Structure 1
Amino acid sequence: MALPLVPNILAAVCSPALARTLRRPGDLKQTTLLHTMARPDDWQHWLQSAGLKDMDGLRHRNYESSTLVYQAAIEGQGVGIAQKALVQPLIDSGDLVFPFAHELDMKEYTYYFVRPANRPIRPELQSFQDWLRSSA
């Protein structure tokens, strides 16, 4: 049994100050894209879904983790690509904003809780599954 936990929706994020210079996704050609090495294809997927297949990606910086991408975006170093569920606290605090309405639902790459479907579930596993689902 596979229970979806968190939708994997990609969105561009940046500082509020940088967002004021961006009007449409095509404006990304004039700024630095912040990439995470843990998810190297996220920008490519998002850009293609936004109709920007011709972007060369020469203006970019690579970081080891999404957390470092988000911090660089907060500091105004460029525009990061984010999983909305993971960056929502930074959006809520105002540290980051979504400069564009465009987002990409990566349905096939979401997070699941997986357990055997053909066995009865133990009470402690049921409790964990319920907690995980409510937390996610």
Structure 2
Amino acid sequence: MDDELVPVCTPRLAAELGDNPSPDALAGFQLIHDVYRHDWQLWLEAAGATGLDPSRGPVFMHGNGAYDAMKAGLGFALMRRSFLERDLKEDAVVTPFPLGIASRLAFHLVYPGLALEQPAAAAFRRWLLSEAQA
């Protein structure tokens, strides 16, 4: 299952951007990174942002640390959309820019070839694929 990376922040920070913000507006905010620090550069290039240093801001060794820092209002994090689904629906976090970029990370279901001969394994695979499509 593929995923995309989107910039995310608290609703309070999004309000500071104003209506229809340009990606260049991120110059006034912290960029929060996880170990895939170069992803911000990829997103900023895709968004056409100029004059921003994509390497500035704190780096966390795990996405959870970056997410927690963002939730604390410390800046914008670039996160996988699937990780944010519940908080986005509950408006706990927002994505103020519509652009997402493909994540290099994906979810894979791996199993031995004969596993699907087991009814429980086949049912689990069907359920998992159904959930992923939803």
Tell me the TM-score normalised to structure 1 length: 0.79
Match of 2:33 in 1: 35
| Gapped regions of structure 2 (runs ≥ 5) | none
Letter in 2 for 1:79: F
Distance in 1 (CA, whole Å) between partners of 2:77 and 2:46 is 16
Q: C-alpha separation between the residues in 2 aligned to 1:103 and 1:85?
A: 12
The amino acid that maps onto 2:15 is R
Q: Which amino acid aligns with 2:23?
A: P
* 1:13 paired residue number: 8
Number of matched pairs: 128
The Cα shift of 1:50 comes to: 1.0
User: Is contact 1:31-1:59 (8 Å) kept?
Assistant: no
TM superposition shift of 1:76: 0.9
Bigger Cα displacement from structure 2, 92-101 vs 45-54:
45-54
Higher relative contact order (CA 8 A, sep 6+): 1
> Would the alpha carbon gap of residues 120 and 49 (structure 1) be closer, same or farther in structure 2, given more than 3 Å must change?
same
Q: Deviations over 1:15-50 (max 9, x none)?
A: 11100122111111121001012x333212211211
Task: Say which structure is richer in strand.
Answer: 1
Alignment partner, residue 57 of structure 1: 54
C-alpha distance in 2, partners of 1:35/1:70? 9
2:109 — aligned with what?
A: 113
Higher helix share: 2
Q: Distance between the aligned counterparts of 2:99 and 2:115, measured in 1? A: 42
* Partner secondary structure for residue 94 of structure 2: coil
Partners of 1:133 and 1:112 in 2: how far apart?
A: 10
% identity of equivalent residues:
27
Which 5+ residue runs of structure 1 have no aligned equivalent?
A: none
- Distance change (3 Å), C-alpha of 1:80 and 1:120: closer
**Residues 25-104 of structure 1 mapped to structure 2, 5 A cutoff:** 25-37=23-35, 39-52=36-49, 54-104=51-101
Code of the aligned partner of 2:129? R
CA RMSD of aligned residues (A): 2.2
The structural deviation recorded for 1:116 is: 5.8
